[in-house]
Structure 1
Amino acid sequence: MFTEHTVESAPAASRAAMERTAAAFGKTPSAVALLAESPELLNGFLELSASFERSTLEPVAREVVIMTVAVRNDCHICVNMHTAKLRKLGAGTELIAALRQGEALSDERLQAVRQFTLEVLATAGGVGDEDLKAFLAHGYTERNALEVVMGIGTYTMSTLANRLTRAT
């Protein structure tokens, strides 16, 4: 149903983002081509994603947040794209498999991020004091807690849009 745009067919306000993405990936990913229908969504997601990448959470911890949201929301394209990113970051096969299957992680610090992400989702942000303290006890900060919320928001938007557009 949704149009998988080229740079030429996309709304004018989506074209620069599509060109930047194609330059970064060597091609225009299907999800970007589909989201281009809404320049506001495409540009908003890419800006939020770039901002999340600049957060103080470590790269693998950011990917734990993203994969937790992607698996929860059953977004296959996100799971596949972020599996590749985890491999690029040197994440082990055990960690990747556990994330893909929605299982507990053997790395306690990364499991704390995963569990906190799930708790934020389950409580719509109304995380209890004990759950927040458990997250902080693993060396994370209040800033990191807010960054998890940012990651959840960013990747909830993309996973829902990707599912709606049937991105593959």
Structure 2
Amino acid sequence: MKNFPVLKKEQVSEANQAIFNNLEKGVGFVPNLYATFAYSENALNTYLTLQNSKSSLKAKEKEVINLVVSQYNNCLYCLSAHTAIAKLNGFTDEQIIEIRKNTISFDTKLEALANLVKSIVENKGEATDFLKEKFFNSGYTEANLVDTIIAIGDKMMTNYLFAVAKVPVDWPEAPQI
């Protein structure tokens, strides 16, 4: 099976063209993975609504989730995009590698989050009581746990779409670890 061709603005519906215009204004370009969502009349809007919804998690915490899930799923596209976004949110290259390796030494709260996320992904939604207790003892709440599950689901969708569609990576490529 060949890769999905990256759709251009003139190839998508009017509704998706409007979204492409907003992405070009906000991000500076239409990421190839978002263009792939536009094969569906509704998927791009649905996904962006989810991605941009309010959360009890901070931007850095969401990037930890994005990087841990994408590393587990070996999604080069999302690792590349979220490496760039993590840097914009103040993480260093070294910290990003620690997050991806799940060996966070610079922040015990983020370490608890990363460990829980990795366990949830590896165990198809399950997590040990020990990891949940560590998460809550680090200062997270039940609302944070629910929002963590939402963020994991968000990233699983993009990881899976990339795995199936094999769209070209249009972000600076994340280093292999």
Normalising by structure 2, report the TM-score: 0.86
Q: What is the DSSP-based 3-state SS (H/G/I as helix, E as strand, rest coil) of the residue aligned with 2:11?
A: coil
Residues 128-147 of structure 1 aligned to structure 2 (within 5 Å)? 128-147=128-147
The answer for the alignment partner of 1:122 in structure 2 is: 122
Q: Does 1:113 align with 2:113?
A: yes
| 2-structure distance, mates of 1:4, 1:76 | 17
- What are the Cα deviations for residues 113-164 of structure 1, in whole angstroms up to 9, with x where unaligned? 1111112223332333332111100001111011110001011001111222
Report the Cα offset of residue 69 of structure 1.
Answer: 0.9
The answer for the alignment partner of 2:81 in structure 1 is: 81
Query: Over the residues paired in the alignment, what is the CA RMSD in angstroms?
Result: 1.6
Q: What is the DSSP-based 3-state SS (H/G/I as helix, E as strand, rest coil) of the residue aligned with 1:8?
A: helix
The answer for the alignment partner of 1:26 in structure 2 is: 28
Runs of 4+ in 1 over 4 A off after TM superposition: none
The answer for the alignment partner of 2:93 in structure 1 is: 93
Q: CA contact under 8 A between 2:66 and 2:82: conserved in structure 1? A: yes
Corresponding pairs, count: 165
| 2-structure distance, mates of 1:165, 1:123 | 25
Pick closer, same or farther for the CA change 1:64–1:3 going to 2, 3 Å.
same
Normalising by structure 1, report the TM-score: 0.90
The answer for the alignment partner of 2:172 in structure 1 is: none
Q: CA contact under 8 A between 2:112 and 2:131: conserved in structure 1? A: no
Q: CA contact under 8 A between 2:68 and 2:102: conserved in structure 1? A: no
- What are the Cα deviations for residues 14-38 of structure 1, in whole angstroms up to 9, with x where unaligned? 2222221121111111112222112
Q: CA contact under 8 A between 1:14 and 1:38: conserved in structure 2? A: no
Q: CA contact under 8 A between 2:117 and 2:152: conserved in structure 1? A: yes
Q: Say which is worse superposed, 155-164 or 115-124, in terms of deviation.
A: 115-124
| 2-structure distance, mates of 1:3, 1:20 | 21
Q: What is the DSSP-based 3-state SS (H/G/I as helix, E as strand, rest coil) of the residue aligned with 1:105?
A: coil
Give the partner amino acid of 2:108: E
User: Structure 1: any 5+ residue segments left out of the alignment?
Assistant: none
Q: Say which is worse superposed, 19-28 or 117-126, in terms of deviation.
A: 117-126
Percentage of identical aligned residues: 27
The answer for the alignment partner of 2:12 in structure 1 is: 10
Q: Does 1:104 align with 2:103?
A: yes
